Amino acid sequence: MTNHWVDIKNADVIIIMGGNAAEAHPCGFKWVTEAKQHRGATLIVVDPRFNRSAAVADVYAPIRSGSDIAFLGGVINYMLSNDKIHHEYVRNFTNAAYLVRPDFGFEDGLFTGYNADTRKYDRDTWDYQLGEDGYVQIDDSMQHPRCVLQLIKRHYSRYTPEVVSKVCGTPQEDFLKVADLIASTSTPDRVMTIMYALGWTQHTTGSQNIRSMAMIQLLLGNIGRVGGGVNALRGHSNVQGITDMNLVTNVLPGYMKLASDDEQDFQAYLDARSPKPLRPNQISYWQNFPNFWVSLSKAFYGDAANQYNNFRYDWFPKLDQPYDVLHMFERMYQGQMNGFISQGFNPLAAVPCVQKVREGLSKLKYLVVIDPLATETSEFWADMGDYNEASPSEIQTEVFRLPSTCFAEETGSYTNSGRVLQWHWKAADPPGEAKPDTDIIAGIFYTLRRLYEDEGGTFPEPVVNLSWEYGHPMEPAPEDLAKEFSGRALADVADAGDPPVILAKAGEQLSGFGQLRADGSTACGNWLYCGAWSEGGNLMARRDTSDPSGLGFYPDWGYAWPANRRVLYNRANCDMQGRPWDPTRATIHWNGSKWVGNDVPDIKATAAPAEDVGPFIMHPDGVGHLFALKSMAEGPLPEHYEPFETPLPANPMHPDNPLALNNPATRIFAYDREQLGTADKFPYVATTYRLTEHYHYWTKNVLANSILQPSQFVELGQELAAEKGIKDGDQVKVMSNRGYIRAVAVVTKRLKQLDVDGRKVHTVGIPIHWGFIGVAQKGFLANRLTPFVGDANAQTPEFKAFLVNVEKIVPTAQA
Amino acid sequence: MASLDIQARSATTTPSPGVRDYPDVAKLIDISKCIGCKACQVACMEWNDLRDVVGENTGSYQNPPDLDAKSWTLMRFYEVEPEPNRLEWLIRKDGCMHCADPGCLAACPSPGAIVKYSNGIVDFNQEHCIGCGYCITGCPFDIPRISQTDHKAYKCSLCSDRVAVGLEPACVKTCPTGAITFGSKPDMIDYAVDRVRDLQGRGFKNAALYDPPGVGGTHVMYVLQHADRPELYGLPQDPTISPLVELWKGVAKPVAIGVMAAVGLTALFHYITRGPNAVSKEIEEDEERKAKEEQQV
């Protein structure tokens, strides 16, 4: 979230799209009800299903799953055509006025630089025009034909209300009602917030779904605003934490990009990630990358990393190929993997195409599962009839199950969606021999290190030299780990003043990432979390409920990264003179000599408004990117592409270009392309989702949850059910080209048949949550149906839009 | 709750104590803020230590499918179109309404099995329940359920044990959106006025409070978007106590109690003269098997 949970109460318009907050985030949803009750806020829900969020919404609009960019592109067009943008904000805080290279273009669904063989773009032309001074060229009037605003106007002019309705199946009047409400927040006194989740990410166009809304929010002047922002609702209490610590394969903690194989030179690696400002006076905060990276290396390797050995840059992995989860399971399926450690992860249930995953796991020599529960993954080999068609006698994989603690059985920190780190305390002892994950990892580490020390091996240095300075090395205390990720001074840290002032003495905890140094005098496990455990103690454990602003910031409750800042880009909450756009929702303001107020300024405190320092300090140009430059795989402007399994024969936006049917930059493996189904055999759009009664595949182990939602069902619209002769409560079989599930039919008015490009499109709703382990009724893993293909940028699988067929199961005499 | 707090007692002619004067409490359920998350169902299970069976989906989000002896509250889901092309998904937390004039209490023939406290809560004392089911007949909201295992009647107690020590009912405490609130009845009515105004401002012209006078008002009230059509929510338009119960209460009840007493005396006589009834082993096993099967279903 750019903002935070409580801040939702400050919004005038709330849109839930690509998520179902009432259902999946019922506790956070209270802030929606607060905004409605106390601010008179309007709630909009756009979703293929009339869901539990829609049940309490003021406006609901149906949409075909997988067509969000067309809808949002239509909103952009509506705003620009009706002059509903926040001009001063757009001119000063976005790249709307920036000029783009003349050779950049878009034709027939493809941007310049496409290579159909590699399915990749050469992104060179997706760039600004630079002047001789090295800065971007700008046209403040925003009239220049190559300025971003004009490019956007042209690009989205195709997304008329008629086209939106044709692509999305949304009735035009519903679309216009939503567009008008969104556009109503282009004035400084009205703010909109967006709440989204996996309904946007789990598409092959996932990242661009979100970017489309980010563009809308920039055009409306709603980012950095109290009650605004772009807010991702995270599914697990600590999934924001896992992202920040970057337990993904291509980044280091704090979103520091890992080197690729061709980046063997340390200085070049640092330089490439420390961009110089592209406009005068801009902060370009990533210029601090060397401070963060070196401090991380010091936390990893202690004294073994120093300036004479490039802080052991050579010991850090360099990416030779992608290692995302789809790639990982493709390699496993190809038999290129010996072992797999599955920690807090149930891939048999969570990765698409269960059949492929099971076959991959069957080719392993060993599988280690670290989890508080017995997972389907740990029993992937078991013969469970058609719930899991495995032949144990043919599977040689040795499976080790290491029971770990669950959240209430351990102490530590959570980071919530609003970036607030909150300490929690152990409430109960774990059962049996279960241990905290950290103890299990410590045990594995000690054994591996001993083996490397005793027997050598390929490249033992990164393991044998790892710094492991914890009070109890075999049971690292959460407190020790937290102090490590927060960071400490290894030598005295001074400021750059004359005479220098000592900011932190050697051995002290640091109070913020401004104190991190690239000379090896600081160690910090995650620069974003720096200061969470300062000399003032564990700030994550703070529980002060005072709220001086009355806006719900609670500055002394926990610790928000970065720097305890509650709203990111908060400079943009003020006009060009440094006065809040809306005085009733003020955070910081310029008091004549510095920025002060209710929040920690997201700008240099002494940067006077006249200096024109942009609010988006992480960007080299200091502004929000309507035009994304080279940062996205499939283009600098979101464009509608069909899901990889689409009910349509062509992309209605580009009917004559088969290359532009689906996301042109999406990677898909040969086997998985063969497994794609077509609309002639699988005519219905399916989407998977969560129910409020359950959490993923965990709570089917809990009696209370299982009583509330005992057995597997699918949702069918009344029209489809009537066509198929299916009645409420009938058993049905749902099939994709990859597999089938059986479930009870819930026949509903809430799933409407949509008119899409001249066809009737039905949606089949498939809640996940069931499996073959637990106290709930046994069921089928929903991912038996889903395609093994992901977003072109993040590789998040396309769980939200694929094709199925449905048939009624006629009970046999014996049943 | 102590005996001093009892305002009315089933099948009892002696007057109740009157020295203590409690304000009426009320639970207000604002359907326009309810997201149907069922946290209230879990809170009810947790506080009352009840675990129903893991059943089957019967084609609805509503689970368990109905109230029963172990499920005292239940989210009911209604897909309605109050006007053409305007779909609404109304989700109502169902449970005892705690009527000011409780039909169950009026109908109950067993002394003290149903009581009404001076704060308005209507509570079942299962140790006095004879399982006759008259409370079900007496209830205009179809709430009480007879357990198939111990043949006693159960329903929501409005957490009388929590309220007695100054706590709100468990469902109120757990509700994440503030759709359920609890307080004195006048305060809840005041609060409802605000909520109704908000809903009317959002186009729900017929929004109003549901506090039906036919049962003397209730201590569980709803804010309804369409109060002119409570049947959309599965609620009776104008609930009253069944005329049969009124008749029963007026004339038939003393007679019936007399008959029951006579039956009891006869049984005692039978016991003294012939010894205890013995159930044949076959019948006992058969009954046990049936009970087990019922549980599994």
User: What's the mean per-residue pLDDT of chain A?
Assistant: 97
pLDDT in tens, B142-189: 999 999 999 999 999 999 999 999 999 999 999 999 999 999 999 999
Kindly report the nearest CA distance between residue B59 and chain A, in angstroms. 4
Residues of chain A with pLDDT > 90, as a percent, come to 98
- Contacts with A746 from chain B: Cβ below 8 Å: 57, 59-61
Taking CB atoms and an 8 Å limit, are A710 and B195 in contact across chains? no
Q: Name residue, tokens 């009602």.
A: A177
Taking CB atoms and an 8 Å limit, are A711 and B57 in contact across chains? yes
Q: Residue B245: what pLDDT?
A: 80
For residue B81, what is the nearest residue in chain A, using CA coordinates? A749
- Which of helix, strand or coil describes residue B153? strand
Taking CB atoms and an 8 Å limit, are A704 and B51 in contact across chains? yes
- Contacts with A711 from chain B: Cβ below 8 Å: 55-57
Whether the CB of B202 is below 8 Å from some CB of chain A: the reply is: yes
Spatial separation of the C-alpha atoms in residues A92 and A90, rounded to whole Å: 6
Gyration radius from chain A CA atoms = 27
B156 within 8 A of B172, measured Cβ to Cβ:
no
A786 within 8 A of A641, measured Cβ to Cβ:
no
Taking CB atoms and an 8 Å limit, are A707 and B63 in contact across chains? yes
Taking CB atoms and an 8 Å limit, are B51 and A703 in contact across chains? yes
- Contacts with B54 from chain A: Cβ below 8 Å: 703, 706-707, 710, 775-777
Spatial separation of the C-alpha atoms in residues A119 and A687, rounded to whole Å: 26
For residue A694, what is the nearest residue in chain B, using CA coordinates? B37
**Which residue, A182, A162, A209, is CA-closest to A65?**
A209
**Which residue, A225, A151, A216, is CA-closest to A188?**
A225
Q: Residue B142: what pLDDT?
A: 97
C-alpha to C-alpha distances, A447 to A174, A405, A450, A459, B168, nearest whole angstrom: 62, 21, 5, 16, 54
Spatial separation of the C-alpha atoms in residues A181 and A61, rounded to whole Å: 12
Work out the average pLDDT over B19-25: 86
B113 within 8 A of B148, measured Cβ to Cβ:
no
- Contacts with A49 from chain B: Cβ below 8 Å: none
Spatial separation of the C-alpha atoms in residues A525 and A245, rounded to whole Å: 9
A796 within 8 A of A206, measured Cβ to Cβ:
yes
Whether residue B36 is predicted with pLDDT greater than 70 in this model: the reply is yes
Spatial separation of the C-alpha atoms in residues A380 and A329, rounded to whole Å: 14
Taking CB atoms and an 8 Å limit, are B60 and A710 in contact across chains? no
Whether the CB of B87 is below 8 Å from some CB of chain A: the reply is: yes
- Contacts with A747 from chain B: Cβ below 8 Å: 59
- Contacts with A56 from chain B: Cβ below 8 Å: 32-35
Whether omega before B102 lies within 30 degrees of 0, making that bond cis, reads no
For residue A32, what is the nearest residue in chain B, using CA coordinates? B177
B116 within 8 A of B102, measured Cβ to Cβ:
yes
Taking CB atoms and an 8 Å limit, are A746 and B59 in contact across chains? yes
**Single-letter amino acid code for the residue at A749:** K
For residue A729, what is the nearest residue in chain B, using CA coordinates? B59
Q: Residue B286: what pLDDT?
A: 64
A637 within 8 A of A151, measured Cβ to Cβ:
yes
pLDDT in tens, A24-45: 999 999 999 999 999 999 999 9
User: Would you state the structure tokens that stand for residue A807, as one six-digit string?
Assistant: 């048939």
When CB atoms are compared, the residue of B33, B63, B201 closest to A708 is B63
Spatial separation of the C-alpha atoms in residues A157 and A145, rounded to whole Å: 14
Q: For residue A674, count other CB atoms closer than 10 A to its CB.
A: 8
A372 within 8 A of A401, measured Cβ to Cβ:
no
- Which of helix, strand or coil describes residue A406? coil
- Contacts with A43 from chain B: Cβ below 8 Å: none
Spatial separation of the C-alpha atoms in residues A676 and A678, rounded to whole Å: 7
Q: To 5 degrees, how large is the angle CA B110–CA B116–CA B117?
A: 135
Taking CB atoms and an 8 Å limit, are B198 and A40 in contact across chains? yes
Q: Residue A247: what pLDDT?
A: 84
Gyration radius from chain B CA atoms = 21
β-sheet bridge partners, residue A522: A489
Work out the average pLDDT over A682-697: 97
Spatial separation of the C-alpha atoms in residues B185 and A680, rounded to whole Å: 61
**Single-letter amino acid code for the residue at A712:** Q
User: What's the mean per-residue pLDDT of chain B?
Assistant: 90
Work out the average pLDDT over B120-139: 97
- Phi and psi (nearest 5°) for A65? -60, 130
Taking CB atoms and an 8 Å limit, are B59 and A744 in contact across chains? yes
pLDDT in tens, A117-155: 999 999 999 999 999 999 999 999 999 999 999 999 999
When CB atoms are compared, the residue of A56, A713, A749 closest to B79 is A749
For residue A28, what is the nearest residue in chain B, using CA coordinates? B176
Taking CB atoms and an 8 Å limit, are A55 and B201 in contact across chains? no
Quickly state the pLDDT bin for B297 (edges 50, 70, 90): very low
Q: For residue A77, count other CB atoms closer than 10 A to its CB.
A: 22
For residue B196, what is the nearest residue in chain A, using CA coordinates? A37
pLDDT in tens, B64-102: 999 999 999 999 999 999 999 899 999 999 999 999 999
Taking CB atoms and an 8 Å limit, are A746 and B202 in contact across chains? no
B27 within 8 A of B221, measured Cβ to Cβ:
yes
Whether the CB of B44 is below 8 Å from some CB of chain A: the reply is: no
Residue scoring higher pLDDT (B290 or A275): A275
Kindly report the nearest CA distance between residue B230 and chain A, in angstroms. 17
β-sheet bridge partners, residue B181: B28
Residues of chain B with pLDDT > 90, as a percent, come to 75
Spatial separation of the C-alpha atoms in residues A506 and A605, rounded to whole Å: 27
Q: What is the ipTM of this complex?
A: 0.95
Whether the CB of B33 is below 8 Å from some CB of chain A: the reply is: yes
Work out the average pLDDT over A196-225: 98
Taking CB atoms and an 8 Å limit, are B61 and A746 in contact across chains? yes
For residue B191, what is the nearest residue in chain A, using CA coordinates? A37
pLDDT in tens, A744-770: 999 999 999 999 999 999 999 999 999
For residue A50, what is the nearest residue in chain B, using CA coordinates? B89
pLDDT in tens, A395-419: 999 999 999 999 999 999 999 999 9
Per 3-state DSSP, chain B is made up of helix, strand and coil in percentages (nearest 5) of 35, 20, 45
Kindly report the nearest CA distance between residue B34 and chain A, in angstroms. 7
Burial of B262 (0-12, 13-18, 19+ CB in 10 A): exposed
Test the B interface: residue of A23, A49, A693, A770 with most B CBs within 10 Å: A693
For the entire predicted model, the pTM comes to 0.94
Q: Residue A815: what pLDDT?
A: 45
Taking CB atoms and an 8 Å limit, are A744 and B90 in contact across chains? no
Work out the average pLDDT over A151-165: 98
User: Would you state the structure tokens that stand for residue B163, as one six-digit string?
Assistant: 């309220």
When CB atoms are compared, the residue of B36, B59, B195 closest to A729 is B59
- Which of helix, strand or coil describes residue A36? helix
Taking CB atoms and an 8 Å limit, are A748 and B53 in contact across chains? no
Q: Residue B250: what pLDDT?
A: 63
Work out the average pLDDT over A382-392: 96
